[in-house]
Structure 1
Amino acid sequence: MARPKADLPSAQALRALADDEGRLAVRVTPGSRSEGIEIVEGRVAVKVRAKPEDGKASAAVLDLLAQALEVAPSKVEMLRGATSREKLFRVPPE
């Protein structure tokens, strides 16, 4: 059975939540049944299927953010939170 596509907000909506330096705070839920990005009360919440072991969940979050922002994963940089549910990413400008 094929997995459903992830629910993603627009790139514009995500970039609007980044600060002046392009930093975007994200709250991660690893091991979720579905993948997606939600904007809840002005905060970004990301759900990924990957388990939080050996950086798999962090890599999945980075890939999902890049997909939502419509950029290559190499353009999104994790600044803080490699082992935390609260992560900080630098996203490229439009």
Structure 2
Amino acid sequence: MTDLSHLAQTGARLSLRVTSNARQAGLRIEGDTIHIRVTAPPEKGKANAAVMKVLSKALGVPKTRLAITAGTTGRDKTVTIL
């Protein structure tokens, strides 16, 4: 798993590009965007929950400190660290 703990600062906004229904879960950084692949389907918030789980583990912060502040229903999301 990619270590993103250096980004875990209160108030930081992270730009994400999410791929749901992926064959394999993963995370990589390309420029200023974090690309996250999750195996969960994009229905009933399952993909968003999986994204938050992967991101919280990579950042080393609890899921309760993360909030999707833009793009809850799209592939491009903004997550703010609370």
- Higher relative CO (Cα under 8 Å, sequence separation at least 6) belongs to 2
1:10 aligns with 2:10: no
Which of residues 3, 12, 32 is equivalent to 1:22? 12
Retained in 1: the 8 A contact 2:15–2:32? no
1:81 aligns with 2:71: yes
Please state which structure has a larger fraction of its residues in strand: 2
TM-score computed with the length of structure 2 as normaliser: 0.87
CA RMSD, 1 decimal: 2.0
Q: SS at 1:33's partner residue? A: coil
TM-fit CA distance, 1:44: 0.8
Unaligned runs of 5+ in 1: 1-7
Taking only the aligned residue pairs, the percentage that are identical comes to 33
Evaluate the alpha carbon distance shift between residue 10 and residue 26 of structure 1 in structure 2; reply closer, same or farther with a 3 A threshold.
same
Larger radius of gyration: 1
TM-score computed with the length of structure 1 as normaliser: 0.77
CA distance in 2, matches of 1:86, 1:43: 9
Query: Could you list the runs of 4 or more consecutive aligned residues of structure 1 that deviate by over 3 angstroms after TM superposition?
Result: none
Mapping for residues 47-86 of structure 1, pairs under 5 Å: 47-86=37-76
Unaligned runs of 5+ in 2: none
Aligned residues: 82
Q: Give 1:45's aligned residue.
A: 35
